Structure 1
Amino acid sequence: MSDRLVIDSLDFVRNAGSRHGKIPLVELVRLHDLLFDQEGELIYQISGQFDKNKRPGLYVEITGKIHLHCQRCLDKLVHHIDLQTFLILAKNETELNLADDDDTIDAILAIPDLDVFNLIEDEVILSLSIALCHADDECSMFKLKSNGNGSADKTKPAHPFAALAALKKTN
């Protein structure tokens, strides 16, 4: 288990801090339920900056490859992560509520003990679609059935409930 990076968010911005590293997927526990397996790692870079309006913020870049479940066939789905985001640091709840009213910016509460791994995990989870699937030509739900002699049966694709219909007829 690697050491977790904890920063004082406003101090990090004031000092123009910058950190980068790798996080094994094993350490991102909240992400585990969404993963097919825990192989791989995410590469991150975080830097403290002021935006054009002189507001403090964190620029976060995350790249990597994770394996998810295809929501159609439930097989492994390789998903590439390539995120870049700028998070405004709100000094209090009032500033955070004002930032939430503006759809063009993302904001988090500035805290003295911000766990960067949790922040990165949050950003990855928020970036995922509700139902990720293979492309139609890659999904095993749509692959043609073999007819036994090595050629594909192109007359009719397998219906997802064909096995259920067969069981229903026998009972």
Structure 2
Amino acid sequence: MPGHLIIDAIDFARNAGVHHGKISISELGRLQDYLVGNCGELKYTVAGTLSKGEPVLQITVQGSINLQCQRCLGELKHVLDVRTDLLLASNESELSRIDEDESIDVILARSDMDVLALIEDEIILSLPISPRHRESECAIITVGSGDTAGKKTPFSALAHLKKLH
């Protein structure tokens, strides 16, 4: 990833650090497997804070990406509005203890944390498992719909046979 942003996560949170900017979708290498096309950019904000005395990173990502519809395999515009609070654990034992509570998102704090990789992780985790257009918008559904008067369908031959008997 070209533009690395490295922070000391706990220090960043304790000092209420804030970093925001834009990132090109083409720079997010791992995300490419989920996309149709890679043009455009996403806005992000990473803010450090203390919540009940514990260091937290607040991540916000906004923008839109193009996924592949699993029904028609066409392009599907997906709007991202990711908002995540990540509690920072200072060591492995604290991580294990806090991670038992599934309602809390916790990561191991490092002194060389790559913020853009963390943002990419959060985007990937927010993606739908099986992205699909709404039924009325899906190309595979709309191809067969519409006025069929005067058109020969696969079932018209069956209807003709039914009339003979």
* Match runs of 1:151-162 below 5 Å: 152-153=147-148
* Match runs of 1:98-137 below 5 Å: 98-137=97-136
Find the counterpart in structure 1 of residue 158 from structure 2. Answer: none
Compute the displacement of 1:144 (Å): 3.8
Superposed CA deviations along residues 137-159 of structure 1, whole A, max 9, x for unmatched, are: 1101100448xxxx632799x99
Superposed CA deviations along residues 9-48 of structure 1, whole A, max 9, x for unmatched, are: 0111121100000110111000001000001111100110
Compute the displacement of 1:5 (Å): 1.0
Write the letter of the residue equivalent to 1:25.
I
TM-score, length basis structure 1: 0.83
Alignment pair present for 1:17 and 2:12: no
Find the counterpart in structure 2 of residue 3 from structure 1. Answer: 3
* Match runs of 1:22-171 below 5 Å: 22-51=22-51, 53-145=52-144, 152-153=147-148
TM-score, length basis structure 2: 0.86
C-alpha distance in 2 between matches for 1:144 and 1:36? 21
Identify unmatched segments of 5+ residues in structure 2: 155-165
C-alpha distance in 2 between matches for 1:8 and 1:36? 34
Aligned-residue CA RMSD (Å): 2.2
Percentage of matched positions with identical amino acids: 46
Compute the displacement of 1:91 (Å): 0.4
C-alpha distance in 1 between matches for 2:98 and 2:131? 30
Superposed CA deviations along residues 48-89 of structure 1, whole A, max 9, x for unmatched, are: 0011x2110101111010000001111100000001111000
Compute the displacement of 1:2 (Å): 5.5
- Which SS does the other structure have where 2:142 is aligned? coil
C-alpha distance in 1 between matches for 2:22 and 2:135? 33
- Which SS does the other structure have where 1:30 is aligned? helix
Write the letter of the residue equivalent to 2:147.
A
C-alpha distance in 1 between matches for 2:103 and 2:46? 20
Superposed CA deviations along residues 111-130 of structure 1, whole A, max 9, x for unmatched, are: 01111110000001001121
- Which SS does the other structure have where 2:119 is aligned? helix
Runs of 4+ in 1 over 4 A off after TM superposition: none
